[in-house]
Amino acid sequence: MTFEYAPAPESRSIVDIKAKYGHFIDGKFVTGKNHFATINPATEEVLSQIALGSVSDVDKAVAAAQKAYTKTWSKLSGKERGKYLYRIARILQERAREFAVLETLDNGKPIRETRDIDIPLVAAHFFYHAGWADKLDYAGLSKSPQPHGVAGQIIPWNFPLLMLAWKVAPALATGNTVVLKPSETTSLTALLFAQVCQEAELPDGVVNIVTGDGTTGSAIVNHPGIHKIAFTGSTEVGKKIARAIAGTEKKATLELGGKGANVVFDDAPIDEAVEGIVNGIFFNQGHVCCAGSRLILQEGIADEFIERLKVRMAKIRVGDPLDKNTDLGAINSREQLLKIQELAGVGDSEGAERWSPACNLSDKGFWFAPTIFTGVTQAHRIAREEIFGPVLSILTFRTPQEAIEKANNTPFGLSAGVWSEKGSRILWATQQLRAGVVWANTFNKFDPASPFGGYKESGWGREGGKHGLSAYLKEGK
């Protein structure tokens, strides 16, 4: 039976978007010089004008962060720092609906996800790290661990506020101060977060937010006053950053791209596995570094599995991200849409077979229907390159060893999934898979206590959990 859904749009009246924003430096909003537009990718409506941070803006932000580090933040006990983090977490919870609507407008992701996943996880990250702030000496990290000083943090557009939380919460808990740059297409929730810092009466200069593009990011990376870089974004930019800081004293964590494999054995519970594959690749329009973008299916169940997957995909509701019924929202930018279209076109020309359910896509905004490619081989670009969109490449295998070899045959190593009813097979496979996170009979589960990060070209270091704290600390004297 198919149910029809009446539209259930979330009201946007809760958000108050200014026509123009500056930067947040030393506890105050300061005006920027040049600006660029940020748009709603579902409608192409201009939401606001965002300041393009210059070298001089970055200088001011780093100076404010250095002053705050020396004069206030490094003088506070862990217990006192923790109180600020708890306060921020509670304000985020109180303003959760406002953040969810604003994130959906600026990013294009469905309100169901911002409301139920992004924003609750953001608050959870602050609560979790608040709890660590006064326990760092007992965490077994090192002898009397000390902060680095000023952390330069650069984040992408796919989980704008969540990536901010992954960066800011551990930095503050460990006693560092911060200069953060959000992505150029999704700066609005970071600027609203700046208001939360004011509301929480966080000492001036502890968190500084400079908006802008790659040139602003590069000014942060190359600034001599930055002691630690935390970057999440593409492998290409990650490599540039690694080159820029080589030979300096700067510490870095790099959370980069992925091409996660979901391996489904023939004894897997098929309906659950189909659900997990759909979640693995179509959650957040596939704009997920750890997306299960390769499905590696045991040959004997491949035909039946793909049929059931198609039936399930035909029920994915694509459309208005503010509608509470929507499963798949808008692609974040025209540039990203062109990249997805280009790589899907390469899939066609290399001989893979494309299938998408019928979808009513709006003429306005950036949209891409949920898509699978069958008949994919390891030589195809769509099996090797990160598409970062709602596109699944399906390969098959005959023996468990072949499945592992195919899953590991990638320059990345961020995530993987195993689907099987046999515990022994799951344990065997998870030990063979070369990925930072391996899920078994589930996918895309996140928790602030769990370290996250990759092998190979997926990056350096871990974020989250005790492992994530250590990146913000050095051994004390």
Can you give the binding site for ligand NAD, defined by CB under 6 A? 154-158, 181, 183-184, 213-214, 217-218, 221, 232-234, 237, 240-241, 255-258, 289, 386, 388, 414, 454, 458-459
- Catalytic residue annotation: 255, 289
* Structural tokens at position 189: 């929730």
Spatial separation of the C-alpha atoms in residues 228 and 365, rounded to whole Å: 38
What minimum distance in Å lies between the beta carbon of 414 and ligand NAD? 6
Helices (H), 6-77: 55-71
Closest to 352 measured CA to CA, from 330, 384, 328: 384
Decide if 455 contacts 434 (C-beta within 8 A): yes
What minimum distance in Å lies between the beta carbon of 154 and ligand NAD? 5
- DSSP 8-class letter at 318: B
Pair type for strands 353-355 and 371-374: antiparallel
Bridge partners of 152, per DSSP, are 179, 229
What minimum distance in Å lies between the beta carbon of 214 and ligand NAD? 3
Q: Which is nearer to ligand NAD, 236 or 304 (CB)?
A: 236
Q: Which is nearer to ligand NAD, 106 or 204 (CB)?
A: 106
Bridge partners of 46, per DSSP, are 39
* Structural tokens at position 457: 């070209």
Q: Which is nearer to ligand NAD, 289 or 407 (CB)?
A: 289
What minimum distance in Å lies between the beta carbon of 283 and ligand NAD? 13
Q: Which is nearer to ligand NAD, 66 or 218 (CB)?
A: 218
Spatial separation of the C-alpha atoms in residues 216 and 213, rounded to whole Å: 5
Closest to 469 measured CA to CA, from 448, 441, 454: 448
Cβ neighbors of 103 (< 8 A, separation 6 or more) are 109, 114, 118, 119, 160, 161, 186, 188, 189
Instruction: Give me the residue whose beta carbon is nearest to ligand NAD.
Output: 217
Closest to 300 measured CA to CA, from 401, 398, 393, 406: 398
Bridge partners of 147, per DSSP, are 473
Would you call 74 exposed, middle or buried from its count of C-beta atoms within 10 A (0-12, 13-18, 19+)? middle
In this structure, how many other beta carbons lie within 10 angstroms of the beta carbon of residue 311? Answer: 11
Q: Which is nearer to ligand NAD, 158 or 177 (CB)?
A: 158
Name the one residue in this structure whose structure tokens are 């195919």: 406
What minimum distance in Å lies between the beta carbon of 260 and ligand NAD? 10
Decide if 408 contacts 433 (C-beta within 8 A): yes
Q: Which is nearer to ligand NAD, 222 or 325 (CB)?
A: 222
254 — phi, psi (to 5°)? -125, 120
Q: Which is nearer to ligand NAD, 117 or 154 (CB)?
A: 154
What minimum distance in Å lies between the beta carbon of 469 and ligand NAD? 16
Spatial separation of the C-alpha atoms in residues 47 and 157, rounded to whole Å: 16
Radius of gyration of the chain (CA): 22
What minimum distance in Å lies between the beta carbon of 343 and ligand NAD? 13
What minimum distance in Å lies between the beta carbon of 140 and ligand NAD? 25
Name the one residue in this structure whose structure tokens are 């709006």: 362
